[in-house]
Chain A
Amino acid sequence: MKQIITILWKDLLVELKSKESLLSMFTFGLLILVLFNFAFEPTPALKRAITPGLLWVTFLFSGVLGLNRSFAVEKENMAIQGMLLAPVDRGLIYFGKFGANLIILLVAEFLTLPFFLLFLNMPLFEHFWWITGIILLGTIGFVAVGTLFSAMATNVKMSEVMLPLLLFPVSTPILLAAVACIRNIIAGEPFSTYQNWFSLLVGFDLIFVVVSSLVFEYVVEE
C-alpha cells in the first residue's frame, strides 16, 4: 500500500508543479463544449437529449489527453526504468499510476462540470451525489484500461493516435452505461430503471481493474 501511495503521490506532485495535464484537459473539454454548441445549435429539448452523451464524449476525449502524458513523462530520462528496478511488485506500480490518473482525470472532469450547467442549463446539481457516483464509476473503468493501454501506446510509433484507437472501442460499454445512467438521473427516474446499467458499470470496473493489474507486468517488462 505504501508503494502505491508513493507512486501516486509522485505523479500528483509532478502534476501539481507543472499542471500540464490538468490545464490541457480542462481547456480541451471547454473547447469541445463550445464546438458542440455551434455544431448543433441546441434547443432546450435537444440540450436535454444530448447532455449525457456530450458530457461523456468530452470526458473521454480530454481523458485521452491526460492518459497519453501518463507514461510519456516516465519515458523521458528513462524514469520508468528506475521504477522497474525498484523492488516493487509490478501490479503495485499499476495501481499507483492508475490512482494518479484517476485523481487527475476526476479533477479535470469536475472543473468542466460547472460549464455544462452554465452553457447547457442542465439540472446536474440537483442530483449531484448520484451524478458524482456515476462519473466516478465511469472514470474508474476508463482509466483502468486507459492506464494499461497508455503504457503500451507510449512505446509504439504514432502513440498519440494509437491510444484512442485502442481505448475507445474497448470502452464502448462504459460510454453506453454511463450515458444511460446520467440520462435517467437527469430525467428524475428511480434507480430501478437504470439498475442494470449501473451493475454493468460496476462489473466493467471490477473486471478491468483486476485484469489490467494482472497483465500490466507483461507490458512494462523488458
Chain B
Amino acid sequence: MNRTLWTCGSVLVMGIALISMPGCSKKSVQSGGDSQSTQGMAKGGTDSSKSGVGSFPDTGVQSGGGGLRGLDKNPSEERLGSGTMLAKEDPSGSAGRQMDEISRAEQAASAAAGLRDVFFGYDSWVISEEGRQSLSHDAEWMKSNPNALVKVEGHCDERGTGAYNFVLGEKRAKAARNYLVELGVAANRLSVVSYGKERPACNEHAESCYQQNRRGRILIKSGK
C-alpha cells in the first residue's frame, strides 16, 4: 500500500477538496459535497480527470496461493489470527440522523406549502394527465414563491434490479423537472436526485404500495 496516498496532506496538495478521508475534517466533507450541485458539475464538461476523483490504493493482487501451505506428513502448527480482519467505520451515525431530520423537515414544509408529488406507471417515466395537473399546481406555487428552491426525488417500486431502478428513478425525476421548466420555472431553481428503490414510502409487496413508490417527490429544499 502506498501510504502517502492516505495522508490528508497529500489530498490537499493534489487540490482535491471533495474527498472525505477519515481523519480529515468532516466539516469540509459535508460542505464540499453539498456545494456540488448537478448543474455545477455539468459545467465541468468532459475534462473531469482533475475534479471529483479521490485517491486510489493499489488493489492489484500481490500474491497468489491463497496462503495455503499444502498438506504435510508432519504438519507444523499454523496459528490462525483471532477473527477476521474487519473493522467498522468510525461509528458516527450522525450524518444519517441529520439527513433524516432534514428529510422530515423538507417533507413537512412541502406538505404545508401544498406541493403535490407525481406518480408513474410500471416501468414508465411518462407524466400522466394527473401528474401534469399536480406539476402545474407546483409550478404556480414556485412562481409565487420565487426564492424557493425545489428538489425532485425519483423513486421506484421494489420490482426490477436495484441498479437499473436508479436510472429509472432519475428519468422520472428529470421528466418531472423538465415539465416544470416547460411551465416556466427557472431550471436553476430545480435539482434532481434518484433514490431508485432504496427509500420506499411503503414496504408491502402489493400494487397499492408499488403505486405510492413510483413517485417523483417534489420537495422544498431547506438549507443543505
A and B associate: no
- Give the interface of B toward A (CB within 8 A): none
- Give the interface of A toward B (CB within 8 A): none
